[in-house]
Amino acid sequence: MTQSPALQSSKAPSAVPGKVWLYDTTLRDGAQREGISLGLADKLRIAQALDELGVPFIEGGWPGANPKDVQFFWQLQQQPLKQAEVVAFCSTCRPGREAASDDLLQAILAAGTHWVTLFGKSWDLHVTAGLKTTLDENLRIIADSITYLRSQGRRVIYDAEHWFDGYKHNPDYALKTLQAALDAGAEWLTLCDTNGGTLPHEVTAIIQENRASLGSTPPLGIHTHNDSETAVANAIAAVLAGATMVQGTINGYGERCGNANLCALIPNLQLKLGYHCITPEQLQRLTPTSHLVSEVVNLAPNDHAAFTGQSAFAHKGGIHVSAVARNPLTYEHIDPKTVGNERRIVISEQSGLSNILAKARSFGIELDKADPASRELLERLKTLEHEGYQFEAAEASFELLMRQVMGTRSPFFTLKEFQVHCGHRGDNLSSLATVKVSVSSSISDDSPSNGSPIPQAVEQDILQAGEGDGPVEALDSALRKALAAFYPEVAQFYLTDYKVRILDSSAGTAATTRVLVESSNGSQRWTTLGVSTNIIEASYEAVVEGIEYGLMQVLAANKIQQEVPFISS
């Protein structure tokens, strides 16, 4: 395994002044969250992202617990990470056995990692009721396991499971377990709030008491769970009390209510408290890493997550927007760019002209407050939101609306008609859609006067059909087939999300429906919306705008100037 240069020193790892060592357990503890199931390729992709983020310790899993974790460690032996230490995780040997003959520890050694995290029991209740052994035997297996791993050339981090609960119930015995681990050669003692029931003031007091009992020699780590919604606060309290390692997961994933969220811990420790965790350049990868991990585990990103959420630096109120435009410090606690995020101006019926101007600026369009188009756009926005449109989550549709009001929106095509048929085919329900669209194209006509070709705009009607599991997929398929000959870029577009909201449920089946469609070209994502009492019409509106916006982005990216005559629908 590649070893971090900082860890090759013979000094204790905590000797670096102001340094807090990050220990990520997304691949083990985080994967225990309901709904997460990581394949080998998923684990490798996340490990590489964490390595690039600058995390020094990455817990890869429990070798021997399942074949996937074994393969993960073997793969990293063949293709080591650039700077991170991959850590194998395991329990102490079983009661009544010698560590050298316990197959649990043999699997750990086979993983080939330089560092091993070993967890043992701190709470006497778990020793007697869980392990069903004596308190002295628990001390023996802690010491024997660590001694054996050290004899095999491994460096050991000791996770004191249920430490805080154990200390509250029997402080003398809990301290004996730490001393046993320390005497056997553990280089770090991690205090675990496994049940997540401890509060920050308790963490502070208990760690300070431990320091008085153990002295200043053993470096302490902290591992907190979020069952009381205090995991991040508890980890910060531990660092302020002297802990030099924080264990957590990306996005706070973990069993039950989750673990301490490294995406909040890292910027709080580094930007607010002055500790060094990663470089400023690596810190700018925090938001992309958060989103990448959420994509890999197939969970929607938390838009309201601190620091990395899409709404973390979003401004909706007109007073806020105008103030931020003058000085971002008025309503932002940090510069969003320091964590790889960005400022967003949210557009809604509560918006004032400040929101409109700021939002236009984010699209590269300079509007003047005195320009009648600005006031018209604001009034149009409020009218549409009264009808059920909501542009907060559909910024692509808002940009199209803005360009339409300004007279710079040129549709690439216009709808003539469409039909959707749903029915059973054998045992399967399928949908068939037909669309007729009109597309403008240019042809050349040889002028008899000088022989030079004169481009002329000609409208062509295209009739196309498409199939899908549902009506929206069928519509999208038919539409892209119809446009492919004129705009081959549409072959790269695909739908990534589809949401339906009933706005006036008291109207029953005649209720107004709002549809949000998220589209992607593989590297970008954008959201458009449609509103109608007919869900198919609302869906079509959202799909059409999604394709139009995607084509507009392609042309902008390629710096292609293309004029398409406006065709009124």
- Report residue 61 as tokens: 């899993």
Distance in angstroms (rounded) separating the CA atoms of residues 439 and 455: 16
At position 421, the amino acid (one-letter code) is H
Q: What is the pLDDT of residue 445?
A: 47
Q: What are phi and psi of 545, to 5 degrees?
A: -65, -35
Q: What is the dihedral of CA 29, 172, 104, 117, to 10 degrees?
A: 50
DSSP 269: I
Distance in angstroms (rounded) separating the CA atoms of residues 301 and 315: 19
At position 302, the amino acid (one-letter code) is N
At position 130, the amino acid (one-letter code) is G
Give the global pTM. Answer: 0.69
Q: Are 330 and 324 in contact (CB under 8 A)?
A: yes
Residues, the chain, total? Answer: 569
Cβ neighbours around 130 below 10 Å, total: 13
Distance in angstroms (rounded) separating the CA atoms of residues 174 and 169: 9
Average pLDDT across each block of 10 residues of the chain; the chain has 569 residues. List them in order: 33 64 97 93 94 97 88 93 96 96 94 97 95 97 98 98 97 96 96 97 93 79 98 98 96 97 98 97 95 84 90 74 72 91 68 67 72 80 78 81 84 86 79 89 48 59 90 90 90 86 70 87 87 90 92 74 40
CATH classification of 19-278, choosing from 3.40.50.970, 3.30.420.40, 3.20.20.70, 2.40.128.690? Answer: 3.20.20.70
Q: What is the pLDDT of residue 508?
A: 67
The CATH homologous superfamily to which domain 414-557 belongs is Alpha-isopropylmalate synthase LeuA, regulatory domain (3.30.160.270)
Q: Are 21 and 13 in contact (CB under 8 A)?
A: yes
Q: Identify any residues that bridge with 158 across adjacent strands, giving them in sequence order.
A: 118, 189
Write down the domain spans for the chain: 19-278, 314-406, 414-557
Show the CA angle centred on residue 38, arms to residues 37 and 44, nearest 5°. 170
Largest CA distance in the chain: 107
Q: Identify any residues that bridge with 249 across adjacent strands, giving them in sequence order.
A: 261
Q: What is the pLDDT of residue 13?
A: 52
Distance in angstroms (rounded) separating the CA atoms of residues 253 and 219: 26
Q: Are 344 and 315 in contact (CB under 8 A)?
A: yes
Show the CA angle centred on residue 491, arms to residues 471 and 526, nearest 5°. 70
Three-state secondary structure of 197-246: CCCHHHHHHHHHHHHHHHCCCCCEEEEEECCCCCHHHHHHHHHHCCCCEE
Q: What is the pLDDT of residue 446?
A: 47
Q: How far is CA 82 from CA 14, 88, 275, 514, in A?
A: 21, 17, 23, 47
